[in-house]
């Protein structure tokens, strides 16, 4: 059964297909929530809330964007709203797992650089941080980010450019270490 057939059956009231849709998207939704939360338990909560909201509002899904993009928009909204509510942006204690950072054993980064990187990402303005996480860490295109956040692709590109610039400034001290 195709994803669009599963969606239609769910819209028609067949809640048994929800598990299939969940299984198709849970990994990416969790990864996205984890990027925002920086905490495994919070990410699980945000993921659960994302699917509860998505399935309860499935009738509003028009199919203009991919289901994955639509549910990612919900995950982003849930994550940002919950993080604002509990004020977790500045107090992340759990570092991102090396695998989530895409680091192999040969390219692991030093603990001080890792800490400075996390701090620099956390210090980005919310819009820059969101676009940076969605594009550079999750691999979304600027068009998809635009759909998720309700902004133009050009705005996404601009925010990413500025986010990278700020990260370069904050991490410049480490560039000297690499040059030597």
C-alpha distances out from residue 164 to 7, 21, 119, 176, Å: 37, 34, 14, 18
33-76 pLDDT, tens per residue?
999 998 999 999 999 999 999 999 999 998 888 999 999 999 99
Q: Which helix (H) or strand (E) holds 173?
A: helix 172-179
Mind listing the pLDDT tens digit for each residue in 12-38?
999 889 999 999 999 999 999 999 998
Long-range contact list for 12-18, CB < 8 A, 24+ apart? 15/55, 18/51, 18/55
Residue 118, both tokens = 């996390």
Buried-exposed string 71-92: b where 16+ CB fall within 10 A, e elsewhere: bbbbbbbbbbebbeeeebbeeb
∠ CA 36-146-118, rounded to 5°: 25
pLDDT given for residue 50 in this prediction = 97
Tokens of 48: 């659960």
């Amino acid at each position: 059964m195709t994803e669009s057939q599963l969606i239609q059956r769910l819209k028609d009231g067949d809640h048994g297909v929800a598990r299939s849709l969940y299984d198709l998207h849970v990994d990416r939704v969790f990864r996205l929530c984890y990027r925002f939360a920086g905490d495994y338990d919070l990410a699980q909560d945000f993921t659960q809330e994302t699917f509860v909201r998505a399935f309860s509002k499935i009738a509003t899904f028009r199919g203009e964007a991919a289901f994955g993009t639509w549910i990612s928009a919900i995950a982003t909204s849930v994550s940002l709203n919950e993080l604002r509510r509990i004020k977790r942006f500045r107090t992340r204690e759990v570092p991102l797992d090396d695998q989530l950072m895409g680091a192999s054993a040969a390219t692991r980064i030093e603990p001080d650089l890792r800490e400075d990187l996390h701090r620099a990402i956390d210090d980005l303005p919310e819009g820059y941080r969101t676009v940076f996480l969605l594009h550079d860490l999750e691999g979304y295109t600027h068009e998809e980010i635009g759909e998720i956040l309700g902004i133009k692709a050009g705005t996404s590109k601009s925010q990413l450019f500025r986010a990278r610039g700020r990260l370069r400034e904050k991490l410049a001290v480490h560039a000297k270490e690499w040059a030597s």
